[in-house]
Amino acid sequence: MDFSYSDEQRMLSDSLEKLFTAHNTAAGGGTAAQADKLWQACAETGLIGLTVPEDHGGLAGSSADVMVAAIQIGRHAVQAPFLSTAVAGAGALRLAGSDAQQAQYLPALAEGALKVACAFGEPDARYDLADVDTRAAAQGDGYVLNGAKSVVFGGDDAGLLIVSARAPDTERHDQSGLSLYLVDADADGVERTAYALTDGRGAADITFNDVKLPATALLGAQGGGYDIIEAVSDLAAAAICAEALGALEKVIGLTKEYLGTRRQFGKTLGEFQVLQHHLADMVLEYEHMKSLVYEAGALAGSDDTVARQQAVSAAKVVVAEEGRRICQQGMQMHGGIGLTEEFQLGQFVKRVAVADFAFGDADHHIARYGGHMARAAAAAFGETEGHHG
């Protein structure tokens, strides 16, 4: 039982701290050229290939290592597509890719030459990853893809899309009908509407109109997509929780600083007991959240699906609910200044707001956690009958 960073993790964290400080990421996304430069620098530190196997040019890092990196990304409000490429994209290729596919894509990914985005969500699906209406029909040796994906993280400038689609003869929510396909983002019939998310990072809605795919586009087994989709989504959820944790550390730090300096009615704000207790509440919830985010980081890559889902959902619920509350309290205690674009609090608050609604909201994860809980309870005590009779 050890909650502290390993030496390697500490080094990773320190090097990212230096890198992001040097690139002044907290000032916003910057120009395209600046973003490219940062991305290359990230590749050079090994960040992009963090979870890529060593023989494909990566560091073979764990989900806990991803967490360490993501905390720094959140603390520095980095807008680079780490989550979509290095966590989700690399995760899907690692988990489902054939040797040939891994060899084809992972080295380029780790070098920063290939951005990847996972396109799982659909306009009407909310957070149900099995609710897929995009269809891949067999045609000749390959497939033809039709459908629409929405709010694809990193979809704005990814070169490779990993798309969930179902066999045409399967029903809308049937998990076993799902497969994953590798799609060149510049292929004919791929159309994307790019936009920024609340925290400034890029995303897209993407439609596929008769997109022709070769046989080699299939990622993993035919009909075996759902488990991969869930696993990748959990990797992303755990990472965005860690990002939020880093951002919340800043929200609390800024608030603490403001309370210590801003004066009103002849005192610093920090001398008002009500504000002291609000700050104490923020820290209280933050520390408990931190433990859950650590656990989610540790288990996000676990083979034990139930343990993984419980840990990720627990962290996600608390990040969504308490994270939102901490941000609201932080804004409130800053007064007007906390609501301006100019002051840096806003970008951290917006970062947390994205974590709130990405990869399943609180209701989604409370239901998933509750389902596991109910099953475990039933197994422990056995189903019982009405007792009063």
Partner 1 sequence: MDLTHSSEDIDFRNEVRAFLDAEFPQELAEKARTETRFKRDDYILWQKILAKKGWIAPHWPKEYGGCGWTPVQLNIFDEELTGVGAPRVMPFGIRLVGPVIYTYGTDAQKAKYLPRILSSDDFWCQGFSEPGAGSDLASLRTSAVREGDEYVVNGQKIWTSYAQYADLIFCLVRTDPDAKKQLGISFLLIDMKSPGVSVRPIHTLDGSHIVNEVFLENVRVPVENLVGEENKGWDYAKFLLSNERTGIAGIGMIKADLALLHKIALTERRNGKPLIEDPLFQARLARLEINRRALELTNLRMLTTGGDSGMFPSILKIKGSQLQQRSVELQMEAVGPYALPWQSDAMEPSWNGTPVGPQHVRARAPTYFDRRKTTVYGGSTEVQKNIISKTLLGS
Contact positions vs its own copies (CB under 8 A): 123-124, 150, 272-274, 276-277, 386-389
Task: Give, as ranges, the residues between 222 and 281 that touch partner 1 (CB under 8 A).
Answer: 256, 259-260, 263-265, 270, 272-277, 279-281
Out of 106, 318, 326, 352, point to the residue binding partner 1 (CB under 8 A). Answer: 318
Out of 13, 95, 107, 357, point to the residue binding partner 1 (CB under 8 A). Answer: 357
Which range in 86-94, 102-110, 123-131, 162-170 contacts partner 1 by CB under 8 A? 123-131
Task: Give, as ranges, the residues between 96 and 115 that touch partner 1 (CB under 8 A).
Answer: none
229 binds, among its own copies, partner 1, none (CB under 5 to 8 A by kind): none
Q: How far is the CB of 299 from partner 1 (least distance, A)?
A: 8
Using CA atoms, how far apart are residues 49 and 43, in angstroms rounded to an integer? 7
156 binds, among its own copies, partner 1, none (CB under 5 to 8 A by kind): none
Q: How many residues bind partner 1 (CB under 8 A)?
A: 90
Out of 298, 300, 312, 352, point to the residue binding partner 1 (CB under 8 A). Answer: 298
- Which tokens sit at 255? 């608030």
**333-341 long-range contacts, Cβ below 8 Å, gap at least 24?**
333/255, 333/258, 333/259, 333/269, 333/275, 333/278, 333/279, 334/254, 334/255, 334/258, 337/258
Q: How far is the CB of 374 from partner 1 (least distance, A)?
A: 5
Q: How far is the CB of 183 from partner 1 (least distance, A)?
A: 20
Under rule CB under 8 A, residue 384 binds partner 1? yes
Out of 15, 34, 175, 198, point to the residue binding partner 1 (CB under 8 A). Answer: 198
Q: Give Cβ neighbours of residue 85 (< 8 Å, ≥ 6 apart).
A: 48, 109, 114, 115, 116, 117, 154, 158
Q: Is 321 exposed, middle or buried (0-12, 13-18, 19+ CB in 10 A)?
A: middle
Sign, Cα dihedral of 252, 236, 69, 202: negative
Maximum CA extent, the chain: 79
Our CB check for partner 1 shows the closer of 5 and 133 to be 5
Q: How far is the CB of 25 from partner 1 (least distance, A)?
A: 18
Q: Give Cβ neighbours of residue 378 (< 8 Å, ≥ 6 apart).
A: none
Q: How far is the CB of 118 from its own copies (least distance, A)?
A: 19
Q: How far is the CB of 141 from partner 1 (least distance, A)?
A: 35
Under rule CB under 8 A, residue 374 binds partner 1? yes
Nearest by Cα to 51 from 100, 81, 10, 92: 92
How far, in whole angstroms, is CA 210 from its chain's centroid? 29
